[in-house]
Amino acid sequence: MTHLDFWFDFGSSYSYPASQRIQAPAAASGVAVHYRPFMLGAIFKEQGWTTSPFNIYPAKGRYMWRDLARICDDLGLPLVQPSPFPQNSLLAARVATAVAGEPWAGDYCAQVFREAFGHGRSISDAEVIRAVVARFDGDAPRWLALAQTAEVKEKLRSETDTARVLGIFGAPSFITADGELFWGNDRLEAAIAWSSTR
Amino acid sequence: MTHLDFWFDFGSSYSYPASQRIQAPAAASGVAVHYRPFMLGAIFKEQGWTTSPFNIYPAKGRYMWRDLARICDDLGLPLVQPSPFPQNSLLAARVATAVAGEPWAGDYCAQVFREAFGHGRSISDAEVIRAVVARFDGDAPRWLALAQTAEVKEKLRSETDTARVLGIFGAPSFITADGELFWGNDRLEAAIAWSSTR
């Protein structure tokens, strides 16, 4: 079974619909999804950006929220603009890194995105993340503690370095098993098609 | 019959496939395409950019050329990376402005994009533009002269101002008769669907 790496940051707006859409078409095409959270802000910083380009360039930001509203409307997904935007996604990403080997890791990621963009909840709040983990595992505190270990912190830093080396400059990004990079929620279908036909 | 404003810059890479694709689906949906060339560089300058963001951010630029190659491959379109990129599009845009009332104005625009991105020809070269116009009209020199009049120059500046006021920050952009903005070659279908269902 081939796979598709799904690179995302929990603060990334277009990663929200991608996270809600990816499972069904990937499964239908026999493509396993590998969830690869990383810290997009670290890559933005190297480009000289201290916040999202959607904040730096107001016309682009206004358009993004309108475009995202249309996309979510088409998908029947709720959308609340998080405040602040982007949210601090470090805790959510560390927990995702900690739970990466669990069968519910993908469901955790999808639920964090729903909390952030569907309900406008603060995903930097440990209580919010703990409640998400508790949906899938009886010992949420253990996973939150694991998320703060040096190993997990280093793993997340290393994943961000890997993303940069792979040429990733935004989220969501998809990389096929043969190394083809696709950027954007609107490239999900192309990435799955590429994966399933090669 | 409703219409869709197709805003583009002849130097814009993703405007090339959009220009080659737009006519058939728009016609099939009963949507008239209005060609609206503008000078994207003037809008970039206000964002502090002196060249294309695809040049400023190398990872994004490398991705764009690969993504565009995939898109053109799917469409059966030739693709040559113009040198320099972006090309100076002022002459081509002024001529497009001059010929805007002619029935072949859209075909002129599509052909200029083929010269630039399909064959890698210099569209700042008056001979190249003259040859494109000559495909559609017996008196090409007249149109090139008209393109250099104060009225045409001012019209193009005014169109660029209008683009900015409408919230346009990139190309291609599509604006429906009821004012909905869509950005990107990948939003063409959504823009036509929006136009034809409202």
Which member of A60, A168, A184 has the closest CB to residue B169? Answer: A60
Which ipTM did the prediction report?
A: 0.94
Chain B contacts of A47, Cβ < 8 Å?
57
In this prediction, residue A4 carries a pLDDT of: 97
Q: How close, in Å, is residue A167 to chain B by CA atoms?
A: 6
Three-class SS of residue B102? coil
Q: How far apart (Å, rounded) are the C-alpha atoms in residues A194 and B194?
A: 28
Q: With CB atoms and an 8 Å threshold, state whether B57 touches A70.
A: no
- What is the largest distance, in Å, between two alpha-carbon atoms of chain A? 45
Cis peptide before B84 (omega within 30 of 0): yes
In this prediction, residue B1 carries a pLDDT of: 83
Find the mean pLDDT for residues B137-142. 97
A169 touches chain B (CB under 8 A): yes
Find the mean pLDDT for residues A110-137. 98
**pLDDT, tens digit (0-9, with 9 covering 90-100), for B4-35:** 999 999 999 999 999 999 999 999 999 999 99
CATH superfamily of B2-196: Glutaredoxin (3.40.30.10)
CA B50 to chain centre: 19
A63 touches chain B (CB under 8 A): yes
In this prediction, residue B55 carries a pLDDT of: 92
Nearest chain B residue to A173 by CA distance is B63
**Residue ranges covered by each domain of chain B:** 2-196
Q: Is the pLDDT of residue A132 over 80?
A: yes
| % helix, strand, coil for chain A, step of 5 | 55, 10, 35
Cβ atoms of B51 and B22 closer than 8 Å: no
Q: How far apart (Å, rounded) are the C-alpha atoms in residues B132 and B126?
A: 10
Q: How far apart (Å, rounded) are the C-alpha atoms in residues A93 and A91?
A: 5
What is the band of B119 on the pLDDT scale with cuts at 50, 70, 90? very high
Find the mean pLDDT for residues A33-47. 95
In this prediction, residue B47 carries a pLDDT of: 86
Cα angle vertex A98, ends A92, A100, to 5°? 100
Cis peptide before B17 (omega within 30 of 0): no
Q: Is the pLDDT of residue B198 over 80?
A: no
Chain B contacts of A59, Cβ < 8 Å?
167-169
Chain A contacts of B187, Cβ < 8 Å?
67, 186
Q: Looking at this protein, which amino acid is placed at residue A182?
A: F
Q: Taking the model in full, what pTM does it have?
A: 0.95
Q: How close, in Å, is residue A194 to chain B by CA atoms?
A: 10
Cβ atoms of B146 and B98 closer than 8 Å: yes
Of B10, B20, B2, give the one whose Cα is nearest residue B107: B20
Q: How far apart (Å, rounded) are the C-alpha atoms in residues A116 and A80?
A: 8
Q: With CB atoms and an 8 Å threshold, state whether A60 touches B170.
A: yes
Cβ atoms of A42 and A170 closer than 8 Å: no
Q: Is the pLDDT of residue A197 over 90?
A: no
What is the band of A182 on the pLDDT scale with cuts at 50, 70, 90? very high
B53 touches chain A (CB under 8 A): no
Q: Looking at this protein, which amino acid is placed at residue A174?
A: F
Chain A contacts of B45, Cβ < 8 Å?
none
Q: How close, in Å, is residue B152 to chain A by CA atoms?
A: 27
In this prediction, residue B197 carries a pLDDT of: 83
**pLDDT, tens digit (0-9, with 9 covering 90-100), for A10-35:** 999 999 999 999 999 999 999 999 99
Chain B contacts of A184, Cβ < 8 Å?
186
What is the pLDDT of chain B when averaged over all its residues? 97
Find the mean pLDDT for residues A117-128. 98
What is the band of A47 on the pLDDT scale with cuts at 50, 70, 90? confident
